[in-house]
Structures are given as C-alpha cells and as structure tokens.
Amino acid sequence: MTWIKIALSVFTATAFVANANAQTIEYAGEKFEMSNVKASVETFHGEKVLKVERDLQKIPFDTSRLEATVDEPTFVKLKGLNFENGTIEVKFYSQIQDPSPFPQAQGFIGVAYRINDDNTAYESIYLRPRVGRSDNQLFRNKTVQYYSYPDYKFEKLKKQADGKYETAAPVDINEWITMRIEVQGEKAYMYINDSKYSTFVVDKMLGNLKQGAVGLWVDIGTIGYFKDLKITKH
C-alpha cells in the first residue's frame, strides 16, 4: 500500500515551464502539471491552498457548443504517481468567477483520475455545488456528475443513460467540501464530507484505462481552492 499526503504545514510555490507544452507548479513539495488551467498557491481563509481556474485561452468556451467545450482536461495533474485502485481524498472550495463567462456556472469542481500521459483519456467525478441545496429537486439531482473522457461526457451520458451518472449531494458553493473517491476495478464510490455511506456509485466506469495520474479539476466560471490531498493505493 502506498500513501501520499499533501500537507499544508510544509509547502513551496514555484511555477516554471517544464517542457514546451506544459507548465508545472510545486505545492507542498509535490509537482503538479497544469493542463488547460491557471494555478497558483494562495493564502485563503488563513491557509495555503492551491488555486485553480480554467484557462480560456487554452480551450475557448462556446455556449452554443457545450458538449465540445466543457468536460475537458482542465486540471492540475500530480506528477510521479500512478494510480489504479485505492482512495483519493481532497478538500475543496468552489466560487463563481465575477464576472462569469457562463451565467449558468455551477461551481464545477472535482477530481480526475487514471489520467493517461498526454491527458487524452481519464475518468472524473465532479460537483455542481451551486445546485446542491436548491429548492428544485431536479436541479439537486444534478449536483454530482461522472464522466469518462473523451467518449462519454455529460451530454452523451444524459442522452444515453439519463440520471444514472449523476445524483444529489448536500453541498453548496462558498464552503469547504471533502470528497473521497474509492476506486475498485471498474467501480468507483464517492463520499461527501463525513458521510458513513457513499453518496454516489459508478457501477461500471466507461473508460479503457486501468491506471494513470490523479488531477484536481475545475471547469467554466469556477474558482477552485484545493487542500489536504490524500491518496492511498491498494
């Protein structure tokens, strides 16, 4: 079993060009590769956290082409760790950008895992915290989303299996949320905060990758703050 913890008590922050195509940021002694995002280490609520926002110059956003311009590889990817099965836990805080490039932004934030080397395939579970406590139950049911890049993004899953890859969760923007994902072969279980039981289960992931990197993911109109990343490999 391998265990890694990104501890806030010791950290450095350095951004530099790792190669011609990728920029790397160092946080808590670990290096993260930026994929279509802007990232920095900031003091937030009195703590050092990793701030991540989607880079619209890398992947332009088009409201008329949501399927083509969202659910993309917009994350910071932890370097030097190959993840197959185990547990990924992280705390994050989601804000809506002001002004937001997308009026319907829901604070999209979550985790990508089993990411391949060139970021062209991975699995992901993320939240739409803004609707987590909505008075509209239909909106609440869309708080949690699974997708598998590149072949099964949310629009395709909505058409093919409406409701199967999404669910409700009692969360909101502008608050700290703990997400824990347990990956076991083709299954993934997601837990929110201190829940004893899983909030969400993917009974069969749709990607072909069996292992890969772990990333901290955001999408359009979102400012994401991350801390306390813990990864346990089984």
pLDDT tens readout for residues 148-178 = 999 999 999 999 998 999 999 999 999 999 9
List the domains of the chain with CATH numbers.
2-233 (2.60.120.560)
Strand, helix or coil for residue 156: helix
- Which run of H or of E encompasses 20? none
The pLDDT of residue 100 is 96
Average pLDDT, the chain: 92
- pLDDT above 90 coverage of the chain, percent: 86
Residue closest to 181 by CA, chosen among 115, 130, 223, 123: 123
Return the higher-pLDDT residue of 199 and 4.
Answer: 199
Tokens of 18: 């790792």
pLDDT band at 21 (very low <50, low <70, confident <90, very high): low
pLDDT of the residue at 162: 87
In the chain, the percentage of residues whose pLDDT exceeds 70 is 91
16 band by pLDDT with thresholds 50, 70 and 90: very low
Closest to 36 (Cα-Cα) out of 16, 60, 67: 60
CA dist 231 and 234 (Å) reads: 10
pLDDT digits (tens, 9 = 90+) for 90-115: 999 999 999 999 999 999 999 999 99
State residue 12's pLDDT score.
34
Q: Are 173 and 143 in contact (CB under 8 A)?
A: no
Which pLDDT score, from 0 to 100, does residue 5 have?
A: 57
The pLDDT assigned to 67 comes to: 85
The string over 124-134, giving b where at least 16 C-beta atoms fall within 10 Å of a residue's C-beta and e elsewhere, is bbbbbbbbbeb
Average pLDDT over residues 45-54: 97
- The three-point CA angle 171-112-223 to 5° equals 50
